[in-house]
């Protein structure tokens, strides 16, 4: 009996406690994001981790020290998740001031009315907009409107395992190498008895699958779409050639490890099980156990595509929370992306410099290469970025079609020509309708 009375009282007490806690929890800061008050910290959503996070935090502290009274409040959001958060916030009227958004989202993000048009801002003296690589500027500009400032740039090159090459008695890849040589090397580096592969490819069918292939398409001299973006152009000889390369390695030679989850290939390379990887500078720090080298992308003999590569720049995007906050956000971003800060960030993290003036400083590149071997090759490779993916809102749909096309060829489910034709038909239908 006593126990029940106790229990009843306990329930009342607990409920009261709950109510009080909820109220108290609210008595803390009301530092909600995106308040339309003209004062308050600059709200940034970014996805820096590890050394990038440390370097970024240092820069923020430096900015606040140089601008007393200005506060920058950063929130970590995994870059993959930022779009969901931003779209919800936009609908709810609670946007941040700045968000880090993938370049591939730019054409669609530009449709958000609250995204600030920075075209005039980047023309201001001292910004040196042209100092940013063309590939970055292309991705930050949608229909002539600049909607972002470059936050990150990268590109694809070939990272190879020197020891495996030596064991196979193969000469290391040279700057003029070709895809037939890559295929031959991959075959010789493959040893099924010890489960060693010449190369690898990611096959989730998402844009990750697609952009790796687009580099080959461009190297083969092909184009994705017609110049007016109205027709598919990839079902060409170049398209066929590039898909054949993949098919030879995946299906015929079986020299290509297929990674459907995008999670194993890097660790496999680090474990010495893969000879060559087409990947970017972000993976280099994941290879502490391998003596690796970096070489430009191979070319196709007889093609005018050369050794060009593909880049995936990302943007800082500003949202309109009132003119005072927009101005503050612009000031911060212009400072953050100024050459001095770009130099600091690149040297600390190994991320490629977003500005040519920084990448042209040999001391900078040398220092980057010393802390992250192979980085210099990726920096130099930035000059091989000759074009960008089509900047159009329909690109995600085209990407899905292409992803399925590539995966079906890699899995041996379809022949390259048939896959190209079917995909082109689908893309043309999507572009028309």
Partner 1 sequence: MLSSEHFAGWAFVTPGVVIIVLFGAVPIVWSAVMSFQSDNGLSPSTPFVGTANYRELLHDPVVTQAIQHTLIYTALFVPGTMLVGLVLAVAMNRKIRFIAFYRTAAYATMAISTISEAIVFIWLFDPSYGIVNYFFSLIGVPQQQFLNSPSEALYVIVAMTIWGWSGFAVVIYLAALQGVPETLLEAASIDGAGPWRTFRKITLPLLSPASLFLAVWLTINALQLFDEVYLSTSGGPLNATTVLVYYLYTEAFEQFNFGYASAIAYFLFLVIIVITVIQFWVGKRFTHYRS
Partner 2 sequence: MTALSAPARSGTDGRDALARAPRSRRRGWWLPFSPWHLVLIPATVILLFPFVWLLVTSVETPAEALHFPPVLDPHVIRFANYSDALASAPFVRFFVNSAIVSVLTVLSNLTLCALAGYAFARFRFLGRTALFAVLMGTLMVPFQVTMIPQFIITKWLGVHVLASVGINHLGALILPNAATAFGIFFLRQFFKTLPLEYEESARVDGANRLTVLVRIVLPLATPALATLAALTFIDSWNNFLWPLIVTTSTSEMTLPLGLATFQGAHSTQWTLLMAGNVMSLVPMLVVFFVAQRYFIRSVASTGLAGT
Q: Which residues of the chain form contacts with partner 2 (CB under 8 A)?
A: 1, 3-4, 7-8, 11, 14-15, 18, 21-34, 43, 47-50, 52-53, 73-81, 84-85, 87-89, 91-94, 96, 264, 266-268, 270-271, 273, 282-283, 285-289
Determine the distance from the C-alpha atom of residue 75 to the mean position of all C-alpha atoms in its chain, rounded to a whole number. 19
Strands 72-76, 42-46: pairing kind: parallel
Q: If contact means CB under 5 to 8 A according to the sort of partner, which of partner 1, partner 2, none does residue 392 touch?
A: none
Is residue 263 a contact point for partner 1 (CB under 8 A)?
yes
Q: If contact means CB under 5 to 8 A according to the sort of partner, which of partner 1, partner 2, none does residue 397 touch?
A: partner 1
* Among 62, 130, 262, 304, interactor with partner 1 by CB under 8 A: 262
* Among 67, 188, 386, 397, interactor with partner 1 by CB under 8 A: 397
103-122 residues near partner 1, rule: CB under 8 A: 108-109, 111-113
Is residue 91 a contact point for partner 1 (CB under 8 A)?
yes
Q: If contact means CB under 5 to 8 A according to the sort of partner, which of partner 1, partner 2, none does residue 413 touch?
A: partner 1
Sequence-separated (6 or more) residues with CB below 8 Å from residue 16: none
Residue in this structure with the two tokens 């909607």, named with its chain if needed? 147
Residue 362: CB minimum distance to partner 1, A:
41
- Cα–Cα distance between 130 and 164 in angstroms, integer? 42
Sequence-separated (6 or more) residues with CB below 8 Å from residue 341: 59, 335
* Among 84, 231, 252, 323, interactor with partner 1 by CB under 8 A: 84
- Cα–Cα distance between 142 and 135 in angstroms, integer? 13
Q: If contact means CB under 5 to 8 A according to the sort of partner, which of partner 2, partner 1, none does residue 258 touch?
A: partner 1
Q: Which is nearer to partner 2, 41 or 339 (CB)?
A: 41
DSSP 60-86: HHHHHHHSTT--EEEEE--HHHHHHHH
* Among 155, 178, 187, 203, interactor with partner 1 by CB under 8 A: 203
Q: If contact means CB under 5 to 8 A according to the sort of partner, which of partner 1, partner 2, none does residue 10 touch?
A: none
Triad 349, 351, 352: Cα angle to 5°: 140
Q: If contact means CB under 5 to 8 A according to the sort of partner, which of partner 2, partner 1, none does residue 400 touch?
A: partner 1
Q: If contact means CB under 5 to 8 A according to the sort of partner, which of partner 1, partner 2, none does residue 78 touch?
A: partner 2
* Among 145, 162, 195, 366, interactor with partner 1 by CB under 8 A: 195
Q: If contact means CB under 5 to 8 A according to the sort of partner, which of partner 2, partner 1, none does residue 260 touch?
A: partner 1
Distances in Å between the Cα of 235 and the Cα atoms of 176, 179, 240, 243, 430 are 26, 19, 7, 10, 15
Distances in Å between the Cα of 364 and the Cα atoms of 132, 358, 361, 382, 390 are 17, 7, 5, 15, 32
- Cα–Cα distance between 256 and 360 in angstroms, integer? 36
Residue 242: CB minimum distance to partner 2, A:
25
Using CB under 8 A, which of the segments 222-230, 276-284, 323-331, 402-410 binds partner 1?
A: 402-410
Q: SS3 for 239? A: helix
- Cα–Cα distance between 335 and 342 in angstroms, integer? 9
Kindly state the tokens that stand for 318: 């500003």
Q: Which is nearer to partner 2, 10 or 411 (CB)?
A: 10
Is residue 257 a contact point for partner 1 (CB under 8 A)?
yes
408-427 residues near partner 1, rule: CB under 8 A: 408, 411, 413
Write the burial class of residue 366 (CB in 10 Å: 0-12 exposed, 13-18 middle, 19+ buried). Answer: exposed
Q: Which is nearer to partner 1, 215 or 398 (CB)?
A: 398
* Among 70, 83, 127, 134, interactor with partner 1 by CB under 8 A: 83
Q: Which is nearer to partner 1, 386 or 397 (CB)?
A: 397
- Cα–Cα distance between 238 and 213 in angstroms, integer? 11
Residue 103: CB minimum distance to partner 2, A:
13
Q: Which is nearer to partner 2, 31 or 176 (CB)?
A: 31
Determine the distance from the C-alpha atom of residue 72 to the mean position of all C-alpha atoms in its chain, rounded to a whole number. 24
- Cα–Cα distance between 290 and 270 in angstroms, integer? 6
Backbone angles phi, psi at 212, to 5 degrees: -60, -40
Q: If contact means CB under 5 to 8 A according to the sort of partner, which of partner 2, partner 1, none does residue 341 touch?
A: none
Q: SS3 for 188? A: helix
Question: Which positions touch partner 1 (CB under 8 A)?
Answer: 83-84, 87, 90-91, 108-109, 111-113, 195, 197, 203-206, 257-258, 260-264, 268, 273, 393, 396-397, 400, 404, 407-408, 411, 413
């Amino acid at each position: 009996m006593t126990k029940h009375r106790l229990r009843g009282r306990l329930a009342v007490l607990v409920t009261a406690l709950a109510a009080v806690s909820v109220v108290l929890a609210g008595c803390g800061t009301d530092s909600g994001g995106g308040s339309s008050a003209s004062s308050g910290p600059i709200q940034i959503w970014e996805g820096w981790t590890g050394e990038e996070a440390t370097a970024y935090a240092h820069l923020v502290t430096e900015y606040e020290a140089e601008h007393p009274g200005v506060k920058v409040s950063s929130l970590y959001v995994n870059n993959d998740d930022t779009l969901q958060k931003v779209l919800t916030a936009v609908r709810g009227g609670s946007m941040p001031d700045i968000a880090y958004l993938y370049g591939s989202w730019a054409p669609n993000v530009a449709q958000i009315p609250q995204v600030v048009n920075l075209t005039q801002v980047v023309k201001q003296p001292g910004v040196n907009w042209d100092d940013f690589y063309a590939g970055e500027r292309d991705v930050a500009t949608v229909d002539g409107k600049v909607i972002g400032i470059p936050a990150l740039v990268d590109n694809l090159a070939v990272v190879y395992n020197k020891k495996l090459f030596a064991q196979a008695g193969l000469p290391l890849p040279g700057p003029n190498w070709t895809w037939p040589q890559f295929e031959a090397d991959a075959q010789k580096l493959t040893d099924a008895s010890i489960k060693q592969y010449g190369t690898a490819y990611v096959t989730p069918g998402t844009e990750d699958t697609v952009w790796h292939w687009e580099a080959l398409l461009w190297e083969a001299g092909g184009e994705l779409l017609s110049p007016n973006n109205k027709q598919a152009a990839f079902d060409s000889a170049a398209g066929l050639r590039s898909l054949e390369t993949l098919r030879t390695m995946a299906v015929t030679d079986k020299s290509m490890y297929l990674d459907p989850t995008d999670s194993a290939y890097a660790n496999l390379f680090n474990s010495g099980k893969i000879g060559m990887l087409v990947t970017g500078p972000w993976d280099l720090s994941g290879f502490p156990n391998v003596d690796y080298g970096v070489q430009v992308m191979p070319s196709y003999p007889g093609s005018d595509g050369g050794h060009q590569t593909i880049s995936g720049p990302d943007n800082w995007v500003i949202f309109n929370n009132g003119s005072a906050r927009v101005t503050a956000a612009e000031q911060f971003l212009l400072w953050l992306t100024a050459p001095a800060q770009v130099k600091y960030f690149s040297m600390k993290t190994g991320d490629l410099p977003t500005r040519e003036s920084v990448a042209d400083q040999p001391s900078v590149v040398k220092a980057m290469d010393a802390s992250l071997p192979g980085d210099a090759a990726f920096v130099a490779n930035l000059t091989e970025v000759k074009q960008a993916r089509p900047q159009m809102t329909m690109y995600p749909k085209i990407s899905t079609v292409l992803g399925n096309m590539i995966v079906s060829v890699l899995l041996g489910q379809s022949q390259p020509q048939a896959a190209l034709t079917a995909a082109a038909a689908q893309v043309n239908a999507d572009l028309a309708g």
